[in-house]
Amino acid sequence: AGRAARRARTPHGGAGAAAMQRIVNNVLSKYFTLFIKDFTPDQFELNFMRGTGALHDLELHEDVMQELLMIPTTLLVTKVTCDNLQLKIPMYFRTNPLSLELDNVTVHLEEPDKVPPPPNKLSALSAGDQREAKTYTPAQLRKAKERMDILRNLSVFVTNLTLMLTTKSNRNTVIRLNVHNAHSRSVNRRWQDVELSQARDVHDDGTETAYKLMTIESISISVTDPRKNIDVYLADNLPASYRSWGTMRSIDGEYLSSHHEFSFTNLHFSWNQARYKLLTDFFTSIGACLSRDIPANEEASADIQEAREMLDVSYKFKIGTWSIVLEDEKPDWAKVVEETGEAVEKLRMRIDALEAEKAGLRERAMRKHAADQAAAA
């Protein structure tokens, strides 16, 4: 019995590992095809003995990322790239999650001239899975849920994520959001890292609740004007966290509720007048962009629309402490000298003009005086 127990916990070994490898490869190939442009299953072969699999120089499908990131189509995802993708298998893969590492992900967002309807590829895929699940036997449902849990329990590391945003009101200004070292993983209800078997609560009514925590080492927001070669940071190196939890049916994994909470422990800003103006312009342009009407997706099926209407969703934004410091403007002495020189030159030209005007008046007065004397004689 002891030897059997040791064999069961042997990393990456045995017939169970081979079966698990087939399941993981099939699941990941299906979803990589959905997300990655020009992907074919033979590009990616996860080897459980090596414990890794990797892809490089990727371009992702814009509409799928638009839906995945839940970005309204008033801001359109126009391009998504990723330098490196690596999947790592833990030593004990049945109790610990697979790790997906992404390096240098860049998302380009642009306000469109005409707002398109929201994409529904992921929703259609989910709805199709739900329809198919209704025909499954209990054993098939368990296997389908096991496959889905592979994705839900993924531990995702993103070393650098950059969102570059341009709005219609100011095409020449690029708003850049940089996220450094973000880590998303399954946790328990106390937001603690635990084995996968403890990362969800099972309820008596046939439902279960799963919890996800993302810790972010730093977020920076800057505004760039390429014409003026200006790069102004509105926020720099702000740590943050993101929590989400949702309740699903245990039998097929369909979500009944989904809740999201984004929080900053400390939020401190230090702006001068120029930065503050950029910030107000930023919120004004974003507000105008997000207030535009989004047309309905007429291709969405009735079950997709019903699922969206029935899903209980909530969002929260929390800040522990915050402060804003408005700095006094420090003079740019080079600019002051330049502007002073220009002012002096303008003043000199004005004085020259006044002197010329004065000389002209004097000359005219002398001619008039001479004319008057000649007339009197």
Q: Which of 37, 44, 121 is nearest to 81 (CA)?
A: 37
The one-letter code for the residue type at 361 is L
Helices (H), the chain: 2-8, 14-35, 62-68, 121-133, 138-152, 273-290, 302-310, 333-376
Going residue by residue through the chain (377 aa), what tens digit of pLDDT does each one get? 333 333 334 455 555 556 666 767 777 777 788 888 988 777 766 555 566 778 889 999 998 888 777 788 888 999 999 999 888 877 666 677 888 899 999 999 999 989 888 777 766 666 566 666 667 777 777 777 676 777 778 888 999 999 998 887 776 778 889 999 999 999 999 999 988 888 889 999 888 898 999 999 999 988 876 666 667 777 788 899 999 998 988 776 677 888 889 898 887 777 777 777 777 777 788 778 878 888 876 665 565 556 556 667 787 888 888 777 777 655 565 665 565 566 667 666 767 777 777 777 778 778 877 887 788 77
pLDDT at 4: 35
Q: Which of 259, 218, 221, 220 is nearest to 241 (CA)?
A: 218
pLDDT at 47: 56
Which tokens go with 267? 């939020």
pLDDT at 308: 57
pLDDT at 281: 77
